[in-house]
Amino acid sequence: MTTPSDSHAIAERELCGLVNGLAQQIADHVRERAVALGLTPAQATALREMTGPMTMRELAERMSCEPSNATFVVDKLEKQGLVERRAHPTDRRAKHLVLTAAGSALRERLLELLAQDSPLAGLTPEQQRALQGLLEQAITRS
Amino acid at 137: Q
Whole-prediction pTM: 0.85
State the residue range of the domain holding 44: 4-141
Instruction: Give CA–CA dist 114/142, Å, rounded.
Output: 29
User: Would you state the pLDDT for residue 7?
Assistant: 84
Counting the structural domains of the chain, the total is 1
Query: pLDDT tens digits for 41-70?
Result: 999 999 999 999 999 999 999 999 999 999
Predicted confidence at residue 89, as pLDDT, reads 87
Report whether pLDDT(111) > 90.
yes
| Residue 104's CATH number | 1.10.10.10
Name the CA radius of gyration of the chain, rounded.
19
DSSP annotation of 118 reads -
Task: Give residue 142's pLDDT band: very low, low, confident or very high (50, 70, 90).
Answer: low
